[in-house]
Structure 1
Amino acid sequence: MDDHELPAGWAAATVDDLGEYINGCAFKPTDWHDTGTPIVRIQNLTDPDKRLNVTQREVDPKYHIGKRDILVSWSATLDVFRWGGPLAYVNQHIFKVLPTEHLDDRFVEFALKKAISELINSEHLHGSTMKHINRKPFLAHPINVPPFPEQQRIVEKIETLFAELDKGEEALREVQKLLARYRQSVLKAAVTGTLTAYWRAANGPPQENGADLLARILKIRRETWQGRGKYKEPAEPDTAGLPELPEGWVWATMPMLGEFGRGKSKHRPRGDPKLYKGGKYPFLQTGRVRNSSGRISEYDKLYSDFGLAQSKLWPAGTVCITIAANIAESGILEIDACFPDSVVGLVPHEDIEGSYIELFIRTAKADLDRFAPATAQKNINLDTLNNVAVPLPPAEEQKEIADKVTTLVGASMVIERGLERELERSAALRQSILKDAFSGKLVPQDPSDQPAEKLLERIRTARAEKPKAKRKKAAA
């Protein structure tokens, strides 16, 4: 059978024929309350552990969702989900799907998954940063529909095959969790001195301990100050309640360790072509820091001389820390680059190992995230980072820690990449199963099944006879 030829008894349809699609309600942060009905946002579908915002706002019953309702996320993360939580309201950018009664709802779910995967790889995917699919091409996307009994046979076969894939993926993700815990334990051991305890014992007291190193750095800065106004000593860290450090270590703050400040991008509008025409200076956003895995070598755009004049070029080796949207993501510049004020930079003194500071930020990420208010876009201010107490080892031990962490974490990342490849293979196999299912190759056809064309006739007749909802008149 040709790939474009319909199997016996099948009929050509569209996503629109499969059901009704209700776009979610547009909730604002001002609608969020301490108690009330949960609001299901895209992040709650992709990560069930994400906190649900709740509201006391009354909304149209069409936005209510319950267990097992089919939801289609058509913006940012494009996928099909079954809601497994309590009675809730569906947020905008998510379709609530009401499958037609003439089709198996599980078949509709798999048909929508296939449609979304095809649309993602089509000209109908829009947006450079926030990917989305418009309603019209989504509803018009073609879907082949088999007779009802064959739908049920297809669903049973898919569920059997997917269940086997689920087991394998679950095992892979458990290993990923173990690796993540291992990496976190390595980082914790690094910044508490446990990782280098044997190294300290073998090498004896350092030529210059952490306290002397810090004093020397501050003395040099004081004597060579060329900044604006009178030199101001960085504030001492508040060590009340902090644990005792290994011998030779000292508590410090990031402003003590080098040049520390927010990035700049003053000009508005930010998309002004003058900022980028003939550009030659790399400019990066918070996403580049978040996705850098600790080393930042890629950028978003190139600033022109005009763009550079309203920004600041930070040197390679700068430790970057995000303070908006994604809190305390970190990485080290491998190129000279500009960044906006949603990123903070630390240019460490030559005797401060930037890699050590960056790995410390990773251990402090969860604590820093708690300082961010629960607003639409989470953020922390520079003062929060100014006051973070940093455990500072002697210079030689900083390098030893950075080298050990690179070796240990690097080995775990090799395993991690192998796991990711296996998960990608599993995802590809799912798509292959769906392709076979919707081309009539997964289960045999039964000539005694009523042709699907009859189903579609009933669906379209019922839709044509359904009273159309009256549009509310706009307020004068």
Structure 2
Amino acid sequence: MPKKKTALTIEERLQQALVPAEEQPYEVPENWVWVRLGAIAEIVTGGTPSKKHPEYYGGNFPFYKPSDLDQGRLTYDASEYLSEEGKKVSRIIPKNSTAVCCIGSIGKCGYLMCEGTTNQQINSAIPKINSLCMYYYLCTENFVQNLLSMASATTIAIVNKSKMESCAFPLPPLSEQQRIVERIEELFAKLDEAKERLQEVADSFAVRKAAILHKAFTGELTKQWRCENGVSDESWEEKTIGEICSSLKYGTSKKSSDDGEVVVLRMGNLQNGEIDWSNLAYTSDEEDIKKYLLKSGDVLFNRTNSPELVGKTSIYRGEMPAIYAGYLIKLDYEKNIVVGDYLNYYLNSSKAKEYYMQVKTDGVSQSNINAKKIGEFEIPLPTLSEQHEIVRLIDDLLARERKAQQAAEQALASIDLMKKSILACAFRGELGTNKASEASALELLRQVLAEN
């Protein structure tokens, strides 16, 4: 008969739970200890109830997947739900557990606000200590790097249950765990408030741009200029695109290549009124180059795209030789009637987009606006000199708005870095919350081990 295994003593289990000095990532306060994650949390790998049983799905029990963990500290909603039958065949993860993605986006964490279950891409840590203290440490860069170092891969990197259990955790005394959580959440709340204001600035650029263009094309922006230059308010007139353009030319229908002599601009290269010179295609077809070669100042209209993007317009500034593809139309405008930049700005205005929505024809996944419809669109035209002034003012105002937007985006990025820094300091005992007089976390570890 095989010998019966002897149960380990508390001291033996304690030695297994502690991380040897040579494996400890960094120094922590003297009354903290480095432990294996598996000693202070039960690690559970999720699974997917068989899709052969549709009765398992469509209920109210959350079935979490990696994308759901983007909710972070407040992970509540799931992308799919199980029925009571599905719940019975699943491992239930209690609320206040930390779900960690261990395949694909390794290290992404979500704190479960209600009980649920997960798919097999997630390992959940069911805590035996302060649940939020555990969650916040599992969000640190140090833990994520530890987890990544444990990953094994054949076709895709994966961290299994036992590997996650062996990860190191800096265990503070129980009271210190609560103080750490309170300090983190206090600091994060202030950062989140600042982040919300900054996000509003970053997100409102499109609104502010639309307001600037509205003022420009109703004459409000240049009201003082007209007064100073003796230009009448009655000098504005309405003309159709067909009246200010000698022709509206469709681009080449021939297939482009990954290399060639000349760039072929496609609908993806028209971005925010300018040409985006990334993701380029090329041609060496001499006939097409001669027929469709662009000149600096040419305005390109995107006639076929998704419903929300059809009609986007950009101006070509001659950065490099280029022709244009068939989904685009070149507007050959009369330079003695309209300024190219003025036309470009107006065709990207809210008024123009409203028109596109009215006249577009919809296919299965794309919308189209033909040359006839473009030609019928009316635009307000001041004198050429006022058009130049309008373009100058728009350029100046939008440059300021972009600068404010970029500053907000940079500040947003710095907030995320600050959060990472706070977490790093928290689990080094550097937030000023640790009390050296408190009993060592070693006693807490003994208690946790004795209870399990």
Regarding TM over 0.5, the answer is: yes
Q: TM-score, normalised by structure 1?
A: 0.57
Matches within 5 A, 1:59-208: 98-102=124-128, 104-115=130-141, 136=158, 144-147=169-172, 149=174, 150-176=176-202, 180-200=206-226, 202-204=229-231
**Structure 1 CA distance, aligned partners of 2:401 and 2:391?**
15
Alignment partner, residue 300 of structure 2: 319
Asked if 1 retains the 8 angstrom alpha-carbon contact of 2:99 and 2:112, the reply is yes
Q: How does 1:43-442 map to 2 (within 5 A)?
A: 98-102=124-128, 104-115=130-141, 136=158, 144-147=169-172, 149=174, 150-176=176-202, 180-200=206-226, 202-204=229-231, 247-252=236-241, 256=245, 258-261=247-250, 266=255, 275-276=257-258, 279-282=260-263, 289-290=270-271, 293-301=272-280, 303=282, 305=284, 316-317=296-297, 318-319=299-300, 321=302, 323-324=305-306, 327-328=309-310, 330-334=313-317, 335=319, 336-337=321-322, 344-351=328-335, 352-360=338-346, 361-364=348-351, 367=354, 379-383=366-370, 386-387=373-374, 389-394=377-382, 396=384, 397-442=386-431
C-alpha deviation, 1:156, in angstroms: 1.9
SS in 2 for 1:100: strand
Greater C-alpha Rg: 2
Closer, same or farther in 2 for the Cα pair 1:247/1:356, shift >3 Å? closer
Please tell me whether the aligned partners of residues 21 and 98 of structure 1 are also in contact (alpha carbons under 8 angstroms).
yes
Shift of 1:287: 5.8
Tell me by how many angstroms 1:82 deviates. Answer: 6.7
Paired residue secondary structure (1:194): coil
What displacement does 1:346 show? Answer: 3.4
Gaps of 5+ in 2: 1-20, 52-59, 72-76
SS in 1 for 2:379: strand
Hey, what does 1:32 align to over in structure 2?
A: none
Cα distance, 1:440–1:44 mapped onto 2, change above 3 Å: closer
Offset, 1:331? 3.8
The count of aligned residue pairs is 384
Q: Which one-letter code corresponds to 2:316 in the other structure? A: L
Asked whether the 8 Å contact 1:281–1:337 carries over to 2, the reply is yes
The 8 Å contact of residues 284 and 300 in structure 1, kept in 2 or not, is answered as no
Task: Classify the secondary structure of the residue corresponding to 1:10.
Answer: strand
User: Aligned pair in 2 of structure 1 residues 68, 338: CA closer, same or farther (>3 Å)?
Assistant: farther
Q: Which runs of 5+ in 1 are unaligned?
A: 28-35, 47-51, 126-132, 210-245, 268-274, 462-476
Q: How far did 1:405 drift?
A: 0.7
Counterparts in 2 of 1:68 and 1:448: CA distance versus 1, 3 Å: closer
Percentage of pairs with the same residue: 17
In 2, are the aligned partners of 1:187 and 1:359 still within 8 Å (CA)? yes
Q: How much is the aligned-residue C-alpha RMSD, in angstroms?
A: 6.1
Amino acid paired to 2:25: H
Question: Which secondary structure state, in structure 2, belongs to the residue aligned with residue 408 of structure 1?
Answer: helix
* 2:279 partner letter: D
Alignment-mate amino acid for residue 194 of structure 1: E
CA distance in 1, matches of 2:246, 2:110: 48
Is this contact kept in 1: 2:360–2:369, CA < 8 A?
Answer: no
TM-score by length of structure 2 reads 0.59
1:362 positional shift: 4.0
- Look up the SS of the partner of 1:424 in the other structure: helix
> More displaced, 168-177 or 151-160?
168-177
User: Which residue identity is paired with 2:369?
Assistant: L
Is the aligned partner of 1:4 residue 2:13? no
